[in-house]
Chain A
């Protein structure tokens, strides 16, 4: 069952075999866990429950992560130790500083705008007759691969010169022309281009925010709402005093997840500008250094920088976790 399956029935068989094997492993864990009880037994149960996840994560993520940190102190070929040189390059090289600046734009703008739009929209369409259709429309971009998204936005941002009978094929420039302006080479104008790329990410992520927040809104207990309604609370205070506090933990989750997703994003930049015209971000630069420029050390240092940047997000989460624990 560990061979390459080549016919469709073989493949399906292999899939079920794998699922059965997996179920058996889980069954054994649960069976053992079921034999423990009491306060002391709790610990054993917890560790048993965590065992498969910890095992996979250690091999699949922790080890490669540590290896990357180690590599970041070595040169391009990974053969000689150079201390913090890669890091000082990141913080002194002019191009790398642009990369850092852009990353800050992305991480500050994307999560907040995407979450705000998702939340507002979730409220607007909640319980409406067309809720599921309306949600599907916003969610749609989520289900589109980055390659497809690149194609889609080409038809939005494309530039054609203002010359003879040449027609615009990008929507934005067509609007500009209709309004009497001259077409702009949108993806070259810095720093406008970075924000135009961010819009694509917001377009993709708002659906995620909307879906999760909509679920949270629906989970607000009816009695709270009833009570507020009897008190004659108006719409704005309802939003501020009831909806927002109730979904606040979920908002944190959404912000965090989008924030992390944004830090890692490189597909959009890669497809649309290739990181040229001062639009590169850390994740893209990491890929470029590692795979195009064959500079393993600098690539690793950029990856480590991504870890480091997520620390504030982690701290914010500890705080809100503690707060909810306390209440």
Chain B
């Protein structure tokens, strides 16, 4: 989006033409391009409407559609200054820091735990493997809400309520089923020859994991990392329950929710607030996307 333009990704050099490339080329290019543009426009339009709205005066937002902006362009920064402004009386920067502090371990911890488990599921034969894997897979469906009270009771009994630990531990736990499932599937697609060769060379599972698997896994880890980051960053539920105790641990979503909260349908503030809240995740995606793709292209998967 235009708000996140500082981060630009250099276009990829198309040295080789991939399968999709051919498929697309042969699909008579103009039609393919038109289809792509139509989808892109449909997908962007709603958000674009929000962006435009966030710069329109309160009255205009409530009485006319955002598209009238083009025939009658009145802009204001008031919505943004109100979201950050002293009227709210909040130091958004502190909540920003909290969000980052919550996010980083909440991404790294489940990522490494899941990588180890996924490796075991994918490449080591042990009794109960399939059953255990299916159980973990099925755990994805446990609604988070049912875990809140039992977990909070545990946190109370070990006396870590109101600290970041509660958030790190719970986010890590909730992420595991999907992380293990995704990484497992990715690992399964790595040619078994690679692992067998390493084993023949006398490598143990620890060194195979680090020397063979981890480099190949980068794109999958990046993908999972992005999704987990987004989930944690946008999370409100877990933060609501476990960050209890005030401003010290509350993430930015909680603060934004409270900011907009008292004003139900203050669309002008909500539109600006919503935009502020998506800048970081979009930036992270755009930044990591490069590593993501580079990791894929550099991977020896393509042999």
**Assembled-state Cα–Cα distance A62/B142 (Å):** 8
Interface residue B9 (Cβ < 8 Å from any Cβ of A): yes
**Assembled-state Cα–Cα distance A139/B142 (Å):** 26
Contact A22 B105 (CB under 8 A): yes
Find B65's partner among A22, A30, A168, A309 (CB 8 Å cutoff): A168
* Smallest beta-carbon distance A316→chain B, Å: 11
Contact with A along B186-217 (1 / 0, CB 8 A): 00110000000000000011110000000000
Q: A124-B36, A253-B185 are in contact. Are A57 and B22 (CB under 8 A)?
A: no
Chain A residue with the shortest CB-CB distance to B40: A137
Interface residue B173 (Cβ < 8 Å from any Cβ of A): yes
In the complex, chain B residues whose CB is within 8 Å of the CB of A233: 22
Contact A127 B14 (CB under 8 A): yes
Q: A127-B14, A135-B289, A169-B64 are in contact. Are A300 and B116 (CB under 8 A)?
A: no
Interface residue A318 (Cβ < 8 Å from any Cβ of B): yes
Interface residue A143 (Cβ < 8 Å from any Cβ of B): yes
Interface residue A100 (Cβ < 8 Å from any Cβ of B): no
In the complex, chain B residues whose CB is within 8 Å of the CB of A19: 104-105, 108
Interface residue A287 (Cβ < 8 Å from any Cβ of B): yes
Chain A residue with the shortest CB-CB distance to B162: A4
* Smallest beta-carbon distance A248→chain B, Å: 11
**Assembled-state Cα–Cα distance A77/B160 (Å):** 29
Number of residues from A at the complex interface, CB < 8 A = 133
Interface residue A211 (Cβ < 8 Å from any Cβ of B): yes
Within 8 A of A (CB), among B60-94: 61-68, 94
Chain B residue with the shortest CB-CB distance to A208: B227
Contact A60 B257 (CB under 8 A): no
Find A235's partner among B25, B126, B141 (CB 8 Å cutoff): B25
**Assembled-state Cα–Cα distance A135/B36 (Å):** 10
Contact with B along A84-127 (1 / 0, CB 8 A): 00000000000000000000000000000000010011111111
Contact B206 A30 (CB under 8 A): yes
Find A203's partner among B46, B245, B301 (CB 8 Å cutoff): B46
Contact B165 A65 (CB under 8 A): no
In the complex, chain B residues whose CB is within 8 Å of the CB of A260: 140-141
